[in-house]
């Protein structure tokens, strides 16, 4: 590290819940602080590294303290940045300190530096990707081993890929926090995780996985931010992607981010999205930059130049939609469905019935594939179909991304 940075980096202070835990590193020369805020304010440090996690509590207090004292900060905390990134960036600007967070998005993939510095000469139209390894692991195993969502989630928890309460991951909120950071870097907007439409993977079933496979797709949880005439559209949801696409090849706990820009066109980065080694790689890279004197604006532009981000309605989707519904097997059911779709000017590409018909009045799975249409029209039509009593539960809706 000294050879790369031109200066020696010394760990002078440490704060942790357990001071006696074996960390396979000699910390005999470092002072232990029971309170991370006191470490952040210490006169003996130039740089504070926050790996506590969470948007409030000691993580927020210690980072704010370090920046207020003019000390640079490296963090892997996407929740903190999504909630308070603008405030922290303002502190960093005021005190001429660095705020670096490569490890906060996509683990070991250097996506922050790519957007902030590597593509500074590009106008970016869209950034999207697989930003949560837990969800990608679950969807990959469902496809490969024909295991249910519940079985794959349980296995992910046993392996440490998912928390005891997995809501933050499988509900899409972790992806949304990361997308909020990427959106700011890509489009020069103020971080706003509340402006994102979010849907998780909890309702994805083996029937959806099988249908996607039959149609030539895989299901991935994507975070998408794209420029539109009305502003920046941000969304997190399960998506059917072509098996031939590069992002469809990303399986297991890996992450991938694709950038569509005017000069480089399409650029995809793939790598480990979580884990100790991936996080450490990104954290050390940030430390090395700061040691070399690199002081980039945290979100690519000075805070005053970042534009406000308004929530933008999801636009007409050119790839169409996959819709799975449990339909009462009664005379005229299909006709009523087609009629409700036509009322909303939704053109159907195909209608497929899955499984064998039983007794009259039983339910059968029906899959609709639509042509290009708007999400609100699909939702309106499905609400009417449900109110008609034609289907017995809310329909599953998944966007289709075509090449």
Residues designated as active site: 178
Return the residue matching tokens 């207090």: 61
The CA distance from 178 to 184, in Å, is 10
Structure tokens at 7: 């200066």
Return the residue matching tokens 């942790």: 16
Give every CB contact of residue 192 below 8 A, 6+ residues apart in sequence.
180, 309
The CA distance from 138 to 154, in Å, is 9
Taken in order 281, 282, 284, 288, the sign of the CA dihedral is positive
* Alpha-carbon radius of gyration of the chain: 24
Give every CB contact of residue 63 below 8 A, 6+ residues apart in sequence.
40, 48, 50, 73, 75, 77, 80, 88
Q: Which stretches of 146-250 are assigned E, i.e. beta strand?
A: 197-198, 217-228, 231-242
């Amino acid at each position: 590290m000294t050879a790369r940075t031109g200066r020696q980096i010394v760990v002078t202070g440490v704060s942790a819940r357990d001071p006696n835990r074996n960390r396979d590193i000699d910390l005999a020369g470092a002072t232990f602080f029971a309170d991370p805020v006191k470490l952040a304010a210490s006169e003996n440090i130039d740089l504070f590294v926050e790996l506590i996690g969470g948007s409030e509590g000691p993580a927020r207090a210690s980072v704010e303290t370090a920046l207020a004292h003019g000390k640079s900060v490296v963090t892997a905390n996407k929740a903190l940045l999504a909630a308070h990134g603008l405030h922290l960036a303002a502190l960093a600007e005021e005190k001429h300190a660095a705020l670096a967070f490569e490890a906060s998005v996509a683990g070991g993939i250097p996506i922050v530096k790519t957007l902030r510095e590597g593509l500074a000469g590009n106008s970016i139209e869209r950034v999207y990707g697989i930003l949560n390894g837990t969800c990608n692991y679950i969807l990959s195993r469902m496809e490969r081993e024909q295991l249910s969502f519940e079985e794959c989630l349980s296995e992910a928890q046993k392996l440490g890929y998912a928390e005891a309460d997995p809501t933050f991951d499988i509900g899409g909120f972790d992806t949304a926090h990361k997308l909020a950071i990427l959106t700011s870097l890509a489009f020069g907007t103020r971080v706003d995780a509340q402006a994102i439409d979010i849907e998780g993977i909890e309702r994805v079933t083996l029937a959806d996985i099988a249908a996607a496979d039959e149609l030539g797709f895989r299901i991935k949880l994507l975070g998408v931010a794209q420029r539109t005439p009305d502003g920046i559209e941000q969304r997190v949801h399960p998506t059917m992607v072509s098996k031939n696409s590069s992002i469809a090849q990303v399986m297991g706990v890996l992450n991938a981010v694709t950038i569509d820009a005017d000069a480089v066109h399409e650029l995809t980065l793939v790598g480990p999205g979580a884990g100790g080694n991936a996080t450490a790689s990104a954290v050390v890279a940030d430390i090395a930059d700061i040691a070399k004197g690199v002081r980039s604006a945290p979100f690519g532009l000075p805070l005053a130049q970042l534009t406000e981000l308004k929530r933008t309605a999801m636009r007409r989707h050119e790839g169409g939609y996959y819709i799975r519904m449990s339909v009462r097997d009664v005379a005229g059911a299909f006709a009523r469905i087609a009629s409700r779709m036509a009322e909303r000017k939704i053109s159907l590409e195909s209608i497929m019935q899955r499984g064998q018909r039983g007794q009259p009045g039983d339910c059968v799975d029906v899959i609709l594939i639509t042509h290009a249409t708007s999400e609100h029209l699909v939702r309106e039509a499905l609400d009417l179909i449900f109110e008609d009593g034609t289907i017995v539960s809310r329909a599953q809706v998944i966007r289709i991304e075509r090449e």
